[in-house]
Chain A
Amino acid sequence: MNGEIDLRGIKDILVDIKDTSELMIDLAYTSLLYRNEKIAEEVFNLEKKMNKLNYKLKLMTLRAARTEEAEKLIAILEIANATEVIADAALKIAENVFREKIHPIFIEAMKEADEIIIKEAVTKNSRMIDKTVKELNVKTNTGMHIFLVKRGNKYIYRLDNLTFKENDIIFAEGPEDGKKEIEELLGVSEA
């Protein structure tokens, strides 16, 4: 580790902070829309994770300056800073969950936004059961992006290897037209 330049490590962290910052925004709005404190807590946890990743990324980038052109590395630091701001903004949104009542304007606005968020259960007849997000190609087939699954009392957002089970609650974001498609996949409505 000492003194080694790890470009692959830098790339991996960049991918992680980009994905995580976007996930945090989705989770933050979702926590507010459904007044869900547990989801808000996930945002808090992810913010801590982001801080660690950002620190690591900056350290690695500074180390890389020994061999790489420093000018080309500045952009990495800029992205690190920006994603930190985004993570803080997500935190600021999620913190509102702990207020007493949600403002109705908020819910109306979320419904009218270009991209909507839905929350629905996987039914007994769903084609999703025992399959992963990848196998189902959910995004390509429905336009909806599943970013969170609730199983029992647990919230899962690392979905790569997760196989769906009956009664899983899925949270998905996407265009309004995608709602029908994903409901068909969930077995809520017949195609």
Chain B
Amino acid sequence: MMEDEEMNVKDIFTEMKDISELVLDLAYSSVFFDNDEIAEEVHELEERMGELNYKIKTMATLAVRTREGAEKISEILEVASASEDIANAAGDISNIIKRGFKIHPVILQALKEAEEKIAKVVIKENSNLAGLKIRESELATATGEYIISIKRGKKRIYNPDKETTLKVGDTLLVRGTEEGENLLRKICDGEINEWRN
């Protein structure tokens, strides 16, 4: 992540869009796995969104000198505030976990049947994935699974970038299809060793 001082409107906007997508996946994951830690991360991302939205508004106000400019920038601000709304909604979903509500089984069933499924997989010792960077692993294009986060020991890496190296014991939180999940599981178990093009 860039230092905040160096960010321009575009950078902030890009981060907001990325967070708005990530945070929703995380929120549903926190419910699906009844996981406080993920719920807490959703909460932190929600706060980050608030900061970013404030920042983008301040910058836009300072940058604008004409009426035309103001009209143009207001579109960006509208969309930015909508992505903050999405993060807030995600926060409300993960609050189900933070507040300790019991989850009715129909919710879990629904999350299982939804088009995009969330899963957790662990990279085993004999998996060829270990040691590869995400870019080199070609997981997204070979399995359709998108890595939402990596849990490594006590640390969790959210929205890992392509240069992140995968390691034995990493727990991946992924989003994709059922076939993709099965394929990825076999890759992580070391049952499938060739999957790249």
Do chains A and B interact in one complex?
Answer: yes
A34 proximal to B (CB < 8 A): no
A-B contacts, 27 of them at CB < 8 A, read A7-B106, A14-B107, A15-B110, A15-B113, A18-B28, A69-B102, A71-B102, A72-B103, A73-B104, A74-B96, A75-B104, A78-B101, A82-B92, A85-B85, A85-B88, A86-B86, A89-B85, A92-B78, A96-B75, A99-B71, A105-B10, A109-B13, A115-B146, A139-B180, A140-B179, A143-B140, A180-B141
Pick from B72, B110, B142, B176: contact of A14, CB under 8 Å = B110
Chain A residues with a Cβ closer than 8 Å to the other chain, count: 60
Interface residues of B (CB under 8 A from A): 9-10, 13-14, 17-18, 20-22, 24, 27-28, 31, 71-73, 75-76, 78-79, 81-83, 85-86, 88-90, 92-93, 95-96, 101-104, 106-107, 109-111, 113-116, 135, 138, 140-144, 146, 159, 176-177, 179-180, 183
Given contacts A22-B116, A140-B177, contact A181 B141 (CB under 8 A): yes
In the complex, what residues of A have CB within 8 A of residue B113's CB? 11, 15
In the assembled complex, the CB of B4 is this many whole angstroms from the nearest CB of chain A, namely: 17
Cβ contact within 8 Å between B82 and A92: yes
Cβ contact within 8 Å between A11 and B106: yes
Cβ contact within 8 Å between B143 and A140: yes
A30 to B69, CA, bound (A): 23
Q: Closest B-chain residue to A100, C-beta based?
A: B71
Cβ contact within 8 Å between A72 and B102: yes
Cβ contact within 8 Å between A72 and B104: yes
Cβ contact within 8 Å between A76 and B138: no
A15 to B115, CA, bound (A): 8
A90 to B85, CA, bound (A): 10
A190 proximal to B (CB < 8 A): no
Kindly list the 8 A-B residue pairs having the minimum CB-CB distance in the complex, ordered from nearest: A14-B110, A143-B140, A85-B89, A89-B85, A140-B144, A139-B144, A72-B104, A82-B89
A117 to B180, CA, bound (A): 20
Chain B binding surface SS class: helix
Cβ contact within 8 Å between A93 and B82: yes
A142 proximal to B (CB < 8 A): yes
In the complex, what residues of B have CB within 8 A of residue A187's CB? none
A125 proximal to B (CB < 8 A): no
In the assembled complex, the CB of B134 is this many whole angstroms from the nearest CB of chain A, namely: 10
Cβ contact within 8 Å between B92 and A88: no
Given contacts A75-B107, A106-B13, contact A101 B114 (CB under 8 A): no
Q: Closest B-chain residue to A86, C-beta based?
A: B89
A52 proximal to B (CB < 8 A): no
Cβ contact within 8 Å between A113 and B102: no
Cβ contact within 8 Å between A11 and B110: yes
In the assembled complex, the CB of B100 is this many whole angstroms from the nearest CB of chain A, namely: 10
Q: Closest A-chain residue to B90, C-beta based?
A: A82
Give A95-121 as 1s and 0s: 1 = Cβ < 8 Å from B's Cβ atoms: 110010111011011101111000000
In the assembled complex, the CB of A145 is this many whole angstroms from the nearest CB of chain B, namely: 8
- Given contact pairs A79-B93, A82-B89, A89-B82, a sample of 11 additional A-B residue pairs in the complex whose CB atoms are under 8 Å apart: A18-B28, A78-B93, A82-B90, A82-B92, A103-B75, A106-B79, A114-B21, A140-B143, A140-B183, A175-B146, A177-B135
